[in-house]
């Protein structure tokens, strides 16, 4: 009886403490795409990704309820990194769904106006809030509702010791009237996180410190606790910026100015620091097993990360460095391993599907279009006949030869290269029985068989990478090579590699496609995620390089299209491939059937 | 006769007049709904010329432009197409989205668009010489991703070209106010919304909000529909079929225009 009551009590208290309303919960997953559309629309940088904030222990003051329940220590704090906006995986603070949803959109709006210029967090958040509200006054009402609801979840100042109460008072005032708090009391301990604000992030703190010597003081204390200052920063820029807080006009100019400036700051980013910070983040993230194995890989082969080792012979390709706005010439080397494998037949379990798809593709791809006015054909061209008849009667000299409507097989003149990502993450499990790599292998086998029926030129390749000097491009089937046991054997022995240097792989594939004589060229990219490699090829850098490589493709008349097998990647895909340039396959089991059908749709005459 | 209102971007009105006086054909390129048709209508009225507009499509043949024989009550009669009428009457022939037309259309355009300024009518054996008032104007939207279609250089280089883009903020506000009679505040916010949506070009949307759509939204709001309802119908659903994108656009509307 007692334990039962205890459990009930426990549940009740926890429930109260976490301010957790499961019935009103909103998940980031369901809002990822709308949020990124919104974020770009309100002026956020197009290349920024939305990611899940990792859980971190915060030392902040907990409410009595939380202490009672022993919860509230772990929090997913929203924050900006150099190229991501990290948001909690789910928000259920409030009992109303609309409020929880509004909080996501508020954080996106705030992030679009947030300028990490080395100011202390309490100042930077106030500034971003004031700018955002000045620019979009229609948000004021929703903002006020969010403030009221979030203040109700914060500890009451009069119940705190005086020093903490002063901090809490300052936070409350800053939330209610952003821009009004210009000095901040030294907190005896980090205050409770403010859910309407973006938290400072260690990864950013390091470069920030380097950027401007005058802000070093608060930067140096930032690793464990949020940087706090007792007085306005000495940085003249931010001091003046704050004085302008309520003159919307100048504030906007200021924000524009700084946004341009930010890319310059990035250029000096401490690369080693960034890598270390990233490693740390990976270790901290607790969700996926493959992440852990990636980290292990990094530690095993640290030498591969050695920055600019000179590349010798081989196929060298440039890489786009968005921070400098220029190419790094000959930065990547393509290896062309040709692993000879035992020739193999098509596995039995794929045969019925393959047969069905071949028939389907044959039908779709040879669909015909009627062409009037032909000397020969299946039906009389009545329009033409009436016209001739009229002309004859009006005395025009016309030949009496009737014309026909013909529906010839349209000659297709198309080359397609299927490029599959076989990075280590494809080693992960798609479902209980299959790993992603198995699904990819099946899909490649079925695709190769099915496309044969369409009669188009096809090449199939897989890639992975380990640093810029080792981009492995496996030629599974070349253009002009007959499909058969040897090709199947190569596909069947495909193993997961390391990382995903997408830009280099795309550039090399594009070179191969460009060498074909076809009029239409299609580059199908099959990947489970985002550009990522050890030597800082990640985040914004990898995304921008890939985007550039795709841009080069289009300029060369190659049409890229992406088939993604990971919803996580969904928010960066439009930025890379465009709105109409990608699909996300939700159920992996369907990939093998989906791919050929998609191909048929893309190339439908 | 009242002039259809046109809000100029810079000196395109003058340029058009000079082209007309010098008997040069004009090519207008730009995205949909930014005032290409309105401009040509305006110029025709201003120069007091009849206007013959043709919306081109992929089944449009030269005969549709030039004319054809018809059977009428046992008689056959020749009927002029719009291009022939424009030449005979001395007016402006406007071929909208000219890249969509069949290839044989360029054959009849070429001799009209260079110094010859002639239109041969094969079927009736006539060779029409265009009078000084005649002018050929074509337009196309370079944004569409048609790999196979595009103007051949030999066609392009016969025209004086004008580029139309989205109007800047002040100009678009003036357009909205004049076209719909809405107040300055609504016009300003709708234009801000238009510009927010235009940031999504090529990433989330294939085509972004044109001035035309903003005009529609303003008209619906002015006639009493709630803002969100009006914007959803006039803008959001017109721009995307993807439910996730429209959800994001709706938030943009709420952010810029309020509830
Ligand atoms: N400069 C302008 N002055 C006045 N009205 C304009 C102007 N630009 C756009 N509009 C408004 O936008 C509407 C659409 O313009 P219009 O029909 O001329 O577009 P368009 O460029 O011809 O588009 P499309 O390529 O789709 O035919 C007009 O009816 C008018 O209300
Ligand atoms: Mg038009």
Residue B119 has pLDDT above 50, yes or no: yes
Q: Find the mean pLDDT for residues B30-39.
A: 92
Q: Find the mean pLDDT for residues A559-586.
A: 82
A386 lies in the same domain as A434:
no
CA-to-CA distance for B36 and A244, rounded, in angstroms? Answer: 42
Flag whether A442 is in a domain: yes
Q: Find the mean pLDDT for residues A574-591.
A: 82
pLDDT at position A276? 33
Lowest mean pLDDT among A341-355, A413-427, A562-576, B223-237: A562-576
Find out whether B76 and A390 touch, Cβ atoms under 8 Å: yes
CA-to-CA distance for B179 and B189, rounded, in angstroms? Answer: 16
pLDDT at position A250? 31
A377 lies in the same domain as A462:
no
Residue A389 forms contact with B (CB below 8 Å): yes
Flag whether A434 is in a domain: yes
Flag whether A559 is in a domain: yes
* Number of CB atoms found within 10 A of residue B104's CB: 13
Question: What 8-state DSSP symbol labels residue A311?
Answer: P
Q: Which of A29, A37, A40 to mutate to test the interface with B (most CBs of B within 10 A)?
A: A37
Nearby residues of A252 by Cβ (< 8 Å), 6 or more positions away: A131, A134, A135
Flag whether A520 is in a domain: yes
A398 lies in the same domain as A500:
no
The H or E element that residue B135 is part of is strand B135-140
- Closest CA–CA distance from residue B7 to any residue of chain A (Å): 27
Lowest mean pLDDT among A313-327, B142-156, B173-187, B205-219: B142-156
How do residues A124-177 score in pLDDT, each as one tens digit? 999 999 999 999 999 999 999 999 999 998 889 998 888 889 999 999 999 999
How do residues A214-250 score in pLDDT, each as one tens digit? 333 333 333 333 333 333 333 333 333 333 333 333 3
Where among A164, A184, A206 does a domain terminate?
A206
Find the residue in B nearest to A383 (Cα): B70
Do residue A136 and residue B256 have CB atoms under 8 angstroms apart?
A: yes
How do residues A338-347 score in pLDDT, each as one tens digit? 767 888 888 8
Q: Find the mean pLDDT for residues A323-350.
A: 87
- B201 closest CA partner among A572, A574, A136: A574
Residue B120 has pLDDT above 80, yes or no: yes
A448 lies in the same domain as A530:
yes
The first and second tokens of residue B94, run together, are 């406007």
Higher confidence at residue B87 or residue A564? B87
CA atoms within 13 Å, Cβ hemisphere of A12: 6
Nearby residues of A230 by Cβ (< 8 Å), 6 or more positions away: A183, A184, A185, A186
Question: What 8-state DSSP symbol labels residue B201?
Answer: B
Band of residue A192 on the pLDDT scale cut at 50, 70, 90: confident
Higher confidence at residue A595 or residue A237? A595
Flag whether A336 is in a domain: no
Q: How far is CA A378 from the centre of its chain?
A: 52
Residue B174 CA: which ligand is closest? Answer: 1
The first and second tokens of residue A268, run together, are 């000096």
Pocket probe for ligand 1: among B3, B38, B181, B234, the residue whose CB has the most ligand atoms within 8 Å is: B38
Do residue B255 and residue A389 have CB atoms under 8 angstroms apart?
A: no
Task: Give me the percent of chain A exceeding a pLDDT of 70.
Answer: 70
A30 lies in the same domain as A143:
yes
Provide the mean pLDDT of chain B: 90
Burial of A22 (0-12, 13-18, 19+ CB in 10 A): exposed
Lowest mean pLDDT among A52-56, A237-241, B148-152: A237-241
* Number of CB atoms found within 10 A of residue A408's CB: 13
- Closest CA–CA distance from residue A540 to any residue of chain B (Å): 16
How do residues A201-210 score in pLDDT, each as one tens digit? 544 333 333 3
Pocket probe for ligand 1: among B35, B57, B238, the residue whose CB has the most ligand atoms within 8 Å is: B35
φ, ψ of residue B17 to 5 degrees: the values are -65, -40
Task: Give me the percent of chain B exceeding a pLDDT of 70.
Answer: 96
The first and second tokens of residue A207, run together, are 């470069």
Do residue A41 and residue B249 have CB atoms under 8 angstroms apart?
A: yes
Domain that holds residue A393: 370-406
Where among A177, A206, A235 does a domain terminate?
A206
A395 lies in the same domain as A498:
no
Higher confidence at residue A15 or residue A146? A146
Higher confidence at residue A361 or residue A485? A485
Q: Long-range contacts made by residues B214-219, C-beta under 8 angstroms, separation at least 24?
A: B214/B172, B214/B176, B214/B190, B215/B175, B215/B176, B215/B179, B215/B180, B217/B190, B218/B176, B218/B179, B218/B180, B218/B182, B218/B186, B218/B187, B218/B190, B219/B180
A422 lies in the same domain as A470:
yes
Find out whether A16 and A69 touch, Cβ atoms under 8 Å: yes
Where among A206, A235, A264 does a domain terminate?
A206
Lowest mean pLDDT among A60-74, A263-277, A587-601, B17-31: A263-277
- A124 closest CA partner among A133, A113, A134, A135: A113
CA-to-CA distance for A354 and A326, rounded, in angstroms? Answer: 45
Flag whether A313 is in a domain: no
- A467 closest CA partner among A423, A508, A509: A423
Q: Which residues are bridge partners to A525 per DSSP? A: A419, A562
Do residue B76 and residue A46 have CB atoms under 8 angstroms apart?
A: no
Interface of B with A (CB under 8 A): 63, 68-71, 76-78, 123-124, 147, 196-197, 199-200, 202-206, 240, 242, 244-245, 247-249, 251-252, 254-259
Q: Find the mean pLDDT for residues B215-236.
A: 95
Question: What 8-state DSSP symbol labels residue B58?
Answer: T
Partner B, chain A 519-538, Cβ-Cβ below 8 Å = 520
How do residues A372-423 score in pLDDT, each as one tens digit? 777 777 777 877 787 777 777 777 766 667 788 776 666 677 899 999 998 8
CA-to-CA distance for B44 and B52, rounded, in angstroms? Answer: 10
CA-to-CA distance for B232 and B259, rounded, in angstroms? Answer: 12
Q: What total number of domains does chain A contain?
A: 3
- CATH code of A563's domain: 3.40.50.410
Nearby residues of B189 by Cβ (< 8 Å), 6 or more positions away: B256, B257
Do residue A557 and residue B147 have CB atoms under 8 angstroms apart?
A: yes
A393 lies in the same domain as A445:
no
Could you identify the residue written with the tokens 């004589």? Answer: A517
A402 lies in the same domain as A487:
no
Provide the mean pLDDT of chain A: 74
Find out whether B174 and B7 touch, Cβ atoms under 8 Å: yes
Find the residue in A nearest to B246 (Cα): A34
**Which chain B residues touch A141 with a CB distance below 8 Å?**
258-259
**Which chain A residues touch B204 with a CB distance below 8 Å?**
36-37, 40, 574, 579
The first and second tokens of residue A465, run together, are 């990478």
How do residues A283-308 score in pLDDT, each as one tens digit? 222 233 333 333 333 333 333 333 44
Q: Find the mean pLDDT for residues A189-198.
A: 86
Flag whether A310 is in a domain: no
- Is the ipTM here above 0.90? no
A43 lies in the same domain as A108:
yes
- Closest CA–CA distance from residue A364 to any residue of chain B (Å): 20
Higher confidence at residue B115 or residue A413? B115
Q: How far is CA B61 from the centre of its chain?
A: 20
CA-to-CA distance for A203 and A210, rounded, in angstroms? Answer: 12
**Cα B228-B233-B234 angle, rounded to 5 deg:** 100
A93 lies in the same domain as A192:
yes
Flag whether A235 is in a domain: no
Question: What 8-state DSSP symbol labels residue A412?
Answer: P
Ligand 1 in reach of B35 Cβ (< 6 A): yes
CA-to-CA distance for B16 and B26, rounded, in angstroms? Answer: 8
Find out whether A526 and A32 touch, Cβ atoms under 8 Å: no
Indicate the residue of B196, B203, B204 with minimum beta-carbon distance to A42. Answer: B196
Q: Measured between alpha carbons, how far is residue A578 from residues A575, B17, B160 in Å? A: 6, 40, 32
A449 lies in the same domain as A575:
yes
Q: Which of A28, A38, A573 to mutate to test the interface with B (most CBs of B within 10 A)?
A: A38
Do residue B205 and residue A575 have CB atoms under 8 angstroms apart?
A: no
Looking at the CA of residue B96, tell me the nearest atom of ligand 1.
Answer: 27
CA-to-CA distance for A31 and A42, rounded, in angstroms? Answer: 16
Q: Is A375 helix (H, G, I), strand (E, B) or coil?
A: coil
């Amino acid at each position: 009886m007692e334990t039962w009551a205890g459990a009930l009590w426990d549940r009740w208290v926890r429930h109260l403490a976490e301010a957790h309303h499961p019935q009103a919960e909103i998940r980031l997953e369901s809002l990822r795409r709308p949020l990124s559309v919104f974020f770009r629309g309100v002026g956020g940088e197009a290349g920024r990704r939305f990611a899940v904030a990792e859980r971190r222990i915060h030392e902040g003051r907990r409410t009595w309820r939380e202490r009672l329940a022993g919860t509230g220590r772990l929090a997913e704090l929203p924050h900006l990194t150099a190229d991501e906006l990290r948001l909690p995986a789910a928000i259920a603070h409030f009992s109303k769904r609309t409020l929880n949803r509004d909080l996501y959109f508020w954080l996106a709006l705030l992030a679009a106006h947030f300028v990490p210029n080395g100011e202390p967090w309490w100042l930077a958040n106030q500034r971003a809030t004031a700018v955002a509200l000045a620019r979009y006054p229609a948000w004021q009402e929703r903002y006020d509702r969010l403030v009221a609801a979030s203040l109700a979840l914060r500890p009451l100042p009069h119940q705190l010791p005086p020093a903490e109460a002063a901090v809490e008072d300052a936070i409350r005032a800053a939330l209610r009237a952003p821009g009004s708090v210009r000095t901040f009391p030294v907190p005896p301990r980090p205050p409770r996180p403010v859910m309407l604000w973006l938290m400072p992030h260690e990864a950013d703190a390091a470069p920030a410190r380097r950027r401007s010597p005058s802000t070093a003081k608060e930067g140096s204390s930032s690793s464990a606790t949020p940087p706090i200052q007792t007085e306005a920063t000495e940085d003249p820029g931010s001091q003046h910026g704050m004085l302008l807080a309520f003159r919307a006009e100048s504030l906007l100019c200021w924000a524009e100015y700084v946004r341009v400036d930010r890319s310059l700051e990035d250029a000096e980013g401490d690369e080693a620091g960034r890598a270390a910070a990233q490693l740390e983040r990976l270790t901290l993230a607790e969700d996926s097993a493959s992440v852990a194995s990636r980290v292990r890989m990094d530690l095993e082969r640290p030498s591969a990360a050695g920055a600019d080792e000179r590349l010798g012979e081989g196929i060298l390709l440039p890489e786009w460095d968005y921070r400098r706005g220029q190419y790094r010439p000959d930065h990547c080397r393509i290896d062309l391993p040709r692993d000879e494998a035992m020739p193999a037949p098509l596995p039995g379990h794929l045969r019925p599907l393959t047969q069905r798809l071949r028939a389907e593709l044959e039908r779709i791809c040879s669909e015909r279009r009627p062409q009037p006015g032909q000397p020969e054909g299946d039906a009389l061209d009545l329009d033409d006949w009436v016209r001739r008849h009229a002309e004859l009667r009006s005395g025009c000299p016309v030949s009496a030869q009737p014309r026909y409507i013909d529906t010839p097989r349209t000659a297709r003149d198309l080359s397609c290269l299927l490029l599959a990502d076989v990075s280590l993450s494809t080693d992960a499990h798609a479902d209980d029985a299959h790993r992603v790599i198995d699904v990819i292998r099946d899909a490649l086998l079925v695709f190769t068989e099915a496309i044969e029926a369409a009669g188009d030129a096809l090449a199939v390749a897989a890639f992975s990478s380990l640093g810029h000097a080792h981009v492995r491009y496996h030629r599974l089937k070349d253009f002009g090579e007959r499909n058969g046991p040897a090709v199947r054997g190569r596909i069947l022995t495909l193993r997961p590699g390391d990382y995903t240097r997408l830009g280099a792989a795309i550039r090399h594939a594009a070179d191969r496609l460009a060498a074909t004589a076809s009029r239409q060229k299609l580059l199908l990219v099959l990947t489970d995620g985002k550009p990522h490699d050890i030597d800082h090829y990640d985040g914004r850098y990898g995304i921008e390089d890939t985007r550039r490589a795709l841009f080069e493709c289009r300029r060369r008349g190659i049409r890229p299209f992406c088939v993604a097998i990971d919803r996580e990647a969904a928010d960066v895909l439009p930025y890379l491939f465009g709105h109409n340039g990608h699909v996300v396959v939700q159920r992996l089991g369907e990939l093998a059937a989906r791919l050929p059908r998609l191909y048929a749709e893309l190339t439908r005459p | 006769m009242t002039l259809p209102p046109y809000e100029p971007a810079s000196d395109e009105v003058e340029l058009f007049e000079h082209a007309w006086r010098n008997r040069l054909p004009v090519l207008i390129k730009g995205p949909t709904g930014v005032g290409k048709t309105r401009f040509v209508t305006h110029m025709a009225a201003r120069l007091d010329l009849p206007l013959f507009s043709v919306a081109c499509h992929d089944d449009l043949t030269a005969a549709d432009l030039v004319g054809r024989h018809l059977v009428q009550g046992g008689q056959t009669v020749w009927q002029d197409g719009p291009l022939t009428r424009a030449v005979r009457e001395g007016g402006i022939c406007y071929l909208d989205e000219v890249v969509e037309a069949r290839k044989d259309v360029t054959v009849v355009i070429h001799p009209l668009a260079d110094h010859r300024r002639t239109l041969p009518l094969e079927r009736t054996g006539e060779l029409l010489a265009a009078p000084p008032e005649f002018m050929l104007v074509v337009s196309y939207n370079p944004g569409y991703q048609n790999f196979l279609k595009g103007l051949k250089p030999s066609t392009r280089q016969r025209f004086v070209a004008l580029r139309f883009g989205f109007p800047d903020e002040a100009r678009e506000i003036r357009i909205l106010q004049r076209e719909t009679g809405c107040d300055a505040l609504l016009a300003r916010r709708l234009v801000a919304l238009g510009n927010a949506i235009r940031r999504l070009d090529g990433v989330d949307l294939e085509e972004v909000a044109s001035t035309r759509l903003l005009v529609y939204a303003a008209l619906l709001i002015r006639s009493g529909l709630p803002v969100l309802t009006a914007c959803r119908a006039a803008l959001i659903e017109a721009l995307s079929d993807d439910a996730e994108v429209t959800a994001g656009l709706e938030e943009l509307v709420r952010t810029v225009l309020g509830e």
